[in-house]
Chains A and B, each alone.
Chain A
Amino acid sequence: MNGTERETSTAPSDSARAADILGAVRFAAESFLTDQEIGERMDEVLAALGAAADVSRVYVFANELAADGDLITSQRYEWAARDVFPQLSNPLMQRMSYERQGLERWSETLSRGDVYETRQGRFTPAEEKFARPQQIQSMLFVPLFVEGSWWGFMGFDEVLAPREWGAEEVDALRAAGSILSAGIQGQRARRERQRLLDEQRAFAEAAWRRAAEWEAVLSSMVDGVLVMDTEQQITFANEGARRIMGAQRAEDLLRPCSEYVIFAEMLDMAGRHLDISDLPPCRALRGEDVDNVGMQLVLRSTRERKFIRVSSAPNRDSAGVIIGAVALITDVTEAVEFSRLKDQFVRVAAHELKTPVAIMKGYSQLALRVADEMSATQQERLQAIDRGADRIDRIIQDLLGVSQVYAEGFRLSLKRADLRDLTVAAIGAAAKEFPDRRIELDASEPAMANVDTDRIEYVLRSLLDNAIRYSPAGGPIEVEVSTGDVGDSHLQGTDAPRAVTISIGDRGVGIPPSKQAFVFEPFFRAHTDTPYDYGGMGVGLFTSREIVRQHGGAIWFESVEDRGSTFYVQLPSGGGDERGAQGADRG
């Protein structure tokens, strides 16, 4: 037997065996220096060490913390001499608990960095229990430390006779432990490096995929997107931007913003030329958030006129410093064109309706004039036709008014007028439609202003109609025309010296507080589906506010539910020519 031969043979000296072990250590060092997985070299290394140290078994145990915090250790690698039973597949060698198996002396000694040595005769009862099934006569453990902490140990078993280790041999085995530790540490570093590399690659791939997704989104979206740097150079333009600007290729747009005039003439909605510094992304560079600004482009290539809406916001770095701007451009040419067609349709329809209404109205009035022997009933019938015609006419005016507001303003035709006269005319028209209602007028002094008389009459008529409709109990409507210093009015800051105020009050149902914020919205009717729903288009106040605004005036109200409402219209008195001219220029 192998062991018997060894026993009888001349034992080599401590130094000679230590030299053999160091030879195996050198081999181990060379093995672990390669990039190969440590596991692939371990069998050879352990075999070399086992042969050099002339032992029955060499093996490596690795520590780990169990879920309950217990320190456990498991056999990972093993070399066994011929005729010696390997233990690697022995389940008892896995997840051994130092504490629970009474092996605390192992962990105490090894964790201090010391070699642990024991043999038959000195075995603790726990060691006895551990060693007997494996026929172990002596054991020597060299601690393995990785990155400063106790990682596990390398063990050397002798199964034939207890082994006495010489000091030089132990030192050589320690050196083997150090090399093994270094190998494990190197492998761990390599794995960490690989993990980082894999992570980096995955990250780069994800970023690339995300970029590709965004590029697909940006290139397939209808809206245009431009990115500008602080030098007003466009650094990104998508397909939508190319289409809107009428460029050949999106790359053509990557140029200073100042050169964009080669693509199109840039105008505001009123058709005025826009300077480069007024363009939304240039404004955003100055820190401004530009929201949905309307612009016109006249393309150089096709002379096509486009209407666009542009939003732009500054790009900031993590410190909040502006590093560029992004602009989102929506082509609204179709919508503007559609709106123009709709406006045209309303105007044509209104025009076509007015002539037959004029015929109805005129003939009912003519019939009333010429019929001497007409009964009261017949006269009332004709008057009803006349009033019906008036109502159709007011609906037409409502439609025209809304259409004009949406077509960006009225064409005011201003002339100097006494607002008392307009108020009297409006009251007269209302009185004709509601002959049984009392309308009281308080207007003592002249109230001159530059106004579009038709428009202001429309405003007054709308307010009177509302006052009458929403005071069904029949209380009087109180109208007052007064003048005052502009400083005391809602028109402060205007250049008119004085203001004319017309108030129209009723003692009716009032406007519920929850609906007061909406009364100037188009098609809003505060009393829809209530007992006070007296019909109407819900556009009178909307259109009126726009008319008053374009006169440089103000409109507001006070209302208490079940007590009534008073609406106020205030217009600049005098000095209104200039403002009027501006108003007339619009649209």
Chain B
Amino acid sequence: MSAAPKVLIVDDDPDLLALMAETLDLEGYRVESAVNGARALDNVSRGMPDLILLDMKMPVMDGKEFTRRFREAHDHQAPIVLVTAAADAGRSAAEIGVNGWLGKPFDLDALLDVVAREVQVAQNDDANRP
């Protein structure tokens, strides 16, 4: 792999957004961010990330609606990991149909693990694609 994987972080909380961005940046990822689903769709249209970290509850466009539109337009071109404070995070993730989930609050190790795993899976899928 030549370039570092690109992660798009979508969260309406600026502090949490900054925390995740800094953590991933320190680990060598390229990081982009958006404060809601609509901005995230704009971002994606300018260039596909390798992974999307997605908050659930956001103004303008929430995580569920973003996922629906993203899949509609871009199918499974990038894996989505839900990062949510919802009470039934796992169930929400299954209902929306995302690749993984992380409940808030989380350990940074857990964040880095899920990002590394999903990026790896996506890259393997790409490599295996005919």
Which residues of A are in contact with B by a Cβ distance under 8 Å? 347, 350-352, 354-355, 357-363, 365-366, 369-370, 389-390, 393, 400, 404, 411, 413, 452-454
- Chain B residue at minimal CB-CB distance from A403: B87
CB-defined contacts of B107 to chain A, threshold 8 Å: 361, 365
B19-36 vs A, CB cutoff 8 Å, 1 = contact: the mask equals 110110010000000000
Contact status A347-B87, CB under 8 Å: yes
Residues from 1 to 34 in B contacting A, C-beta threshold 8 Å:
13, 15-16, 19-20, 22-23, 26
- Given A351-B57, A358-B16: 14 more A-B contacts, CB < 8 Å: A350-B85, A351-B85, A354-B85, A354-B105, A355-B16, A355-B104, A358-B105, A359-B13, A362-B108, A366-B108, A389-B105, A390-B105, A393-B105, A413-B88
Contacting pair A452 B90 (CB below 8 A): yes
Tally of B interface residues using CB under 8 Å: 23
Cβ B13 vs Cβ A370 within 8 A = no
Asked whether, in the complex, the Cβ of B23 is within 8 Å of the Cβ of A362, the reply is yes
- Residue from B26, B88, B89, B105 having most chain A Cβ neighbours under 10 A: B105
Check: B103 CB closer than 8 A to any chain A CB: yes
Give the distance to chain B from A358, nearest Cβ to Cβ, in Å.
4
Q: How many A-B residue pairs have CB under 8 A?
A: 66
In the complex, which of the residues A389, A400, A413, A453 has the most CB atoms of chain B within 10 Å of its own CB atom?
A413
Please tell me if the beta carbons of A361 and B105 are within 8 angstroms of each other in the complex. Answer: yes
| Set of chain A residues within 8 Å of B106, measured between Cβ atoms | 358, 361-362
Q: Is B91's beta carbon under 8 Å from chain A?
A: yes
Contact of B15 among A359, A413, A453 (CB under 8 A): A359
With both beta carbons as reference points, the residue of chain A lying nearest to B83 in the complex is identified as A358
CB distance from A387 to the nearest CB of B (A): 12
**Pairwise interchain contact B88-A351, C-beta atoms closer than 8 A:** no
**Chain B, 52-101, CB within 8 A of any chain A CB:** 57, 85-91, 94
Q: How far is the CA of A258 from the CA of B107 in the complex (A)?
A: 59
B36-48 CB mask vs A (1 if < 8 Å, else 0) is 0000000000000
Cβ-neighbour of B16 out of A350, A362, A393, A453 (below 8 A): A362
Residue of A nearest to B55 (CB): A355
Q: Which residue of chain A is the closest to B102 with respect to CB atoms? A: A358
A355 to B89, CA, bound (A): 14
Q: Are B108 and A359 within 8 A (Cβ)?
A: no
CB contact between A357 and one of B90, B94, B104 (< 8 Å): that residue: B104
